Amino acid sequence: MPVFERLMALLGLLVIGVGLRITGVLDDSRAARLNSLTYYVALPALIFISTYQQSITELLSRALLEGLIIVVVATVGLAWIIHRNASTQYRSVALVQSYHSNLGYLGLPLVAATFEARVTAIASVILGIVSLIQVPLTILILTMMSDANTRFHHELRRLVTNPVLLSLLVGLAVGSTGLAIPSVAATGLDALGTLALPLALLCVGSSLNVDLSAVDLSATGWVVALKNGCMPALAWGVFSLLAVKPATFTASVVMFGTPTAVSTFVYANELGGDEQFASLNVFVTTFISTGTLFLLIRLVS
């Protein structure tokens, strides 16, 4: 399927998710079960099947690690400067949503559906490394800039037991040790992994809830500029200078070109941020990413 048609299909699934929520088909209970199926089954299966045949030394390089850190830190620094004069009500959310990427529910499944297996395997590693950076950073920023009572250490414990990270570690361990996996099990996991993208998009769509009243459109505009434009542009420049292999370059640019993660809305709700503003930013960056990701995929291809 051509890239444009694939992205239009993704947008269609997002719209279907929104429609299912509005009509009540995906109520809170059903949406929670769908999210659990995606988070605990489909995504871990996709990550494992993408990495279990390759050694960690083949996927993780010093240049990749350095590049990921540089891009995240540079984007956070720019966001801090740009949002320093934003309304106190929106500042913390605008800051974290400018860099916190939707790597799991959109980035990795999209890469898997678009590129070859090696690119997908590297994208899985990127998901694990960047999650270990952006999730604690987001929790720390929201906790420090609000009156949240949620304990920072409690949130970090949730990160350690993250099924996405655990499946990545298991997959890399199997690949590095050369342990054989029965073909029946591999086939079943591969089938489950193919469900990750459609299920994740339905989850994202069902979670989008936009209230356009009393929002800071300027702050949202800067979030879009940083997340959809600046971050992938930084990734392009940084990984070009680092002269990484084509598969690493492709995976890095596309993964950083993903929109703001839906989880930032959850964190904002739990840690004292403005949840309506967070929901708007997730919706806008996700909608615009259908165009920006199309451009990025065409360019790196």
Q: Which pLDDT score is estimated for 279?
A: 79
pLDDT, tens only, 203-250: 777 776 666 665 677 888 999 999 999 999 999 999 999 989 999 999
Q: Which amino acid is at 135?
A: V
Percent of the chain with pLDDT over 70: 88
pLDDT at 168 over 80: no
Q: Long-range contacts for 79-87 (Cβ within 8 Å, ≥24 apart)?
A: 79/226, 82/222, 82/226, 83/219, 83/222, 86/216, 86/218, 86/219, 86/222, 87/216, 87/219
Contact 52, 171 (CB under 8 A): yes
Contact 255, 127 (CB under 8 A): yes
Contact 102, 262 (CB under 8 A): yes
Which of 101, 103, 121 lies closest to 46, judged by CA? 121
Tokens encoding 247: 């598969």
Contact 76, 138 (CB under 8 A): no
Tokens encoding 116: 């070859």
pTM of the predicted structure, to 2 decimals: 0.82
Helix axes of 117-144 and 246-256: crossing angle, nearest 10 degrees: 40
pLDDT at 149 over 60: no
CB-based contacts of 115, cutoff 8 Å, min separation 6: 250, 251, 254
Q: Which pLDDT score is estimated for 3?
A: 64
Whole-number Å distance between alpha carbons of 219 and 173: 43
Whole-number Å distance between alpha carbons of 191 and 118: 18
Q: Which of 110-119, 140-149, 269-278 has the highest mean pLDDT?
A: 110-119
Q: Which domains does the chain have, with CATH numbers?
A: 3-300 (1.20.1530.20)
Q: What letter does residue 84 receive in the DSSP assignment?
A: G
pLDDT, tens only, 25-72: 888 888 888 878 887 888 788 888 877 777 777 778 899 999 999 999
pLDDT, tens only, 63-118: 999 999 999 999 999 999 998 887 776 888 999 999 999 888 788 888 988 899 89
Q: Is 160 exposed, middle or buried (0-12, 13-18, 19+ CB in 10 A)?
A: exposed
Lowest mean pLDDT among 89-103, 110-124, 127-141, 258-272: 258-272
pLDDT at 258 over 90: yes
Q: Which amino acid is at 50?
A: S
